[in-house]
Amino acid sequence: MKAETLFEKIWNKHVVYQESPDKSALLYIDRHYVHEVTSPQAFEGLRQTGRRVRRPDLTVAVMDHNVPTDDRSLPIRDEIAKRQIEQLAVNCREFDVPLLDLHHPDQGIVHIIGPELGLTLPGMTIVCGDSHTSTHGAFGALAFGIGTSEVEHVLATQTLWQSRPRTMEVRFVGARPHGTTAKDMILALIRQIGIAGATGHVIEYTGPAVAALSMEERMTLCNMSIEAGARAGMVSPDQTTIEYLRSRPYGPQGPAFEEASRRWLALATDAGASFDQVIEVDIHDLAPMVTWGTNPEMSAPISQRVPDPQDEKDPVRADMMRQALAYMDLKPGTPLDQIAVQRVFIGSCTNGRLDDLERAARVIEGRRVAPGVRAMAVPGSGRVKRAAEARGLDKIFVAAGFEWREPGCSLCLGMNEDILAPGERSASTSNRNFEGRQGRGGRTHLVSPEMAAAAAITGHLTDVRHLSTEVQV
């Protein structure tokens, strides 16, 4: 039998129709996640054409993008956001789609609730009107973001036309050094290949350093595949995957779970299978990474300085660097660890899981947020929040001077009231540092949860490994 990649196994299993191999394939979609921002026009389209949702039983909706993350018992102040949130409830009722609404105990960011509820499983095709759907690939699923017209298409047909993407193996070489994280691994990859480096490709992450990652960390890795331009990112299922999925509330249970586990493990890329492209990322010397510019490839290890556009030979790139540094109000040559921040955000589908909060809490425990810094911890879901509180993490955050908030996308994209003021600078565990992403005129430095926590304590970007010798990170 021909050796196949994980991607090929999933793709081949889901082709419903394909006229010929050179044409696009009609793929069956196993799981469709829906949220309030990219779905209203899709449901309206169904209404106008008199169509139904073909498989509400394969669809799950949740409110996350523009929900307030403060007191949920108060009415939503933003009238337009309120209308959009209410519209999702109306649409789900009318089309029988299961919904985790604002008051559901398991409400949270769509890419966090899917895995933790066992709704995301290996071998699935998964779509959502959100580019960070790539997160679910951590389970060995083929998961990718789609536009609203495609959301409507999936609602109506449970399928999607797709041209076959190329495959890319991203092999991490070496062991991940102490004090570095999956966030640093993915930022290092994006720095190496650029934000369009994987356009048209589905990435599979491999190597001992990936095998050693927890599921939470693999989700961080796959989450930012889109920031390298990839259609999707994935990791072959292994024992770590199986252990995470054991006894998830809506996944298979008992003997069905054991049987499913055997199938899941068999999805892993076969020895000898080939990829269209192979990239090696050497992480022997990996250090905590921070972004200094206005897209995720503009990053450097924390020990370095803001780069000088004059040193860049390519005039187009030099120009982009100049624009980025002007927007970020940074001078070439400034040590990165001297950049002062006014805001710190720990959360998002990239780094809003229990493991992330726990690692950040270990850094801040017994310390205080620096004067003049506003720091927020936003759990990714109701389950994450309850689990964190059961371990007392909320008390650690609050004692340090952090705000401990309700689950949602929050400051990652600033659709609700959690935004940066013009000129404010943040250390953020989110995924995009585009101009204005966290608020018009706001300046974002992407970092890991540990690094965000360290910045909150010192008031400037800081190498968490040197924060203090008594802190184990």
Partner 1 sequence: MTPFSVHRGQVAPLKRNNVDTDQIIPKQFLKRIERTGFGQFLFYDWRYDDQGQPRADFVLNQAPYNHASILLSKVNFGCGSSREHAPWALADFGFRAIIAVSFADIFYNNCFENGLLPITVDEETVDALFDLADRQRELHLTIDLSNQTIVTDDGSFQTHFPIDAERKQKLLKGLDSIGETLLHDAAIASYEKTHALPTVPSGL
Query: Among the candidate windows 81-89, 269-277, 279-287, 368-376, which touches partner 1 by CB under 8 A?
Result: 81-89
Q: How far is the CB of 2 from partner 1 (least distance, A)?
A: 22
Does position 145 bind partner 1 by CB under 8 A? yes
278, β-bridge pairs:
169
How many residues contact partner 1, by CB under 8 A? Answer: 75
Q: How far is CA 190 from CA 176, 195, 311, 444, 463, in A?
A: 17, 6, 20, 17, 20
Integer-rounded Cα Rg, in Å, for the chain is: 22
Q: How far is the CB of 248 from partner 1 (least distance, A)?
A: 12
Question: From the list 84, 135, 206, 430, which residue makes contact with partner 1 (rule: CB under 8 A)?
Answer: 84
**Closest C-alpha to 40, from 69, 63, 72:** 63
Does position 257 bind partner 1 by CB under 8 A? no
User: Is residue 312 exposed (0-12), middle (13-18) or buried (19+ Cβ within 10 Å)?
Assistant: middle
Q: How far is the CB of 1 from partner 1 (least distance, A)?
A: 21
* 38 torsion bin: left (phi>0), alpha (psi -120 to 50), beta (else): alpha
Q: Which residues of 377-403 are buried (b: 16+ CB within 10 A; e: fewer)?
A: bbbbbbbbbebbeeeebbebbeebbbe
Q: How far is the CB of 145 from partner 1 (least distance, A)?
A: 4
Does position 430 bind partner 1 by CB under 8 A? no
Residues 321, 331: Cα–Cα separation, whole Å = 11
| Helix, strand, coil fractions of the chain, as percent rounded to 5 | 40, 20, 45
Nearer to partner 1, 161 or 257 (CB): 161
Question: From the list 10, 63, 81, 168, which residue makes contact with partner 1 (rule: CB under 8 A)?
Answer: 81
Site string for partner 1, 193-222 (x = CB under 8 A): --xx--xx----------------------
Task: Copy the structure tokens of residue 18.
Answer: 């394909």
Collapsing DSSP states into helix, strand and coil, what is residue 371? coil
Residues 6+ apart with CB under 8 A from 345: 375, 376, 378, 410, 411, 412, 418, 426, 427, 428, 429, 430, 438, 452
Give the largest Cα separation in the chain, rounded.
65
Question: From the list 78, 312, 365, 417, which residue makes contact with partner 1 (rule: CB under 8 A)?
Answer: 78
Question: From the list 136, 432, 460, 465, which residue makes contact with partner 1 (rule: CB under 8 A)?
Answer: 432
Nearer to partner 1, 9 or 359 (CB): 9
Nearer to partner 1, 373 or 412 (CB): 412
Nearer to partner 1, 146 or 384 (CB): 146
**Closest C-alpha to 72, from 418, 386, 408:** 408
**Region 111-140 residues binding partner 1, contact defined as CB under 8 A:** 117, 119, 121, 124, 129-131
Residues 396, 401: Cα–Cα separation, whole Å = 9
Task: Copy the structure tokens of residue 193.
Answer: 């290949």
Query: Among the candidate windows 67-75, 146-154, 176-184, 347-355, which touches partner 1 by CB under 8 A?
Result: 146-154
381, β-bridge pairs:
108
Cβ neighbour number for residue 128 with a 10 Å cutoff: 28
Question: From the list 320, 346, 396, 467, which residue makes contact with partner 1 (rule: CB under 8 A)?
Answer: 320
Does position 163 bind partner 1 by CB under 8 A? yes
**Region 329-368 residues binding partner 1, contact defined as CB under 8 A:** none
**Region 18-77 residues binding partner 1, contact defined as CB under 8 A:** 23-24, 26, 28, 30-31, 37-38, 40-41, 44, 49, 51, 54-55, 57-60, 65-66
Q: How far is the CB of 446 from partner 1 (least distance, A)?
A: 13
Nearer to partner 1, 275 or 404 (CB): 275
Nearer to partner 1, 69 or 458 (CB): 69
Q: How far is the CB of 412 from partner 1 (least distance, A)?
A: 10
Does position 253 bind partner 1 by CB under 8 A? no
The alpha-helical segments, DSSP class H, found in 347-448 are 348-351, 354-364, 382-390, 393-400
Collapsing DSSP states into helix, strand and coil, what is residue 135? helix
412 among annotated binding-site residues: yes
**Region 398-417 residues binding partner 1, contact defined as CB under 8 A:** 413-415
Binding residues for [4Fe-4S] cluster: 349, 409, 412
Binding residues: 349, 409, 412
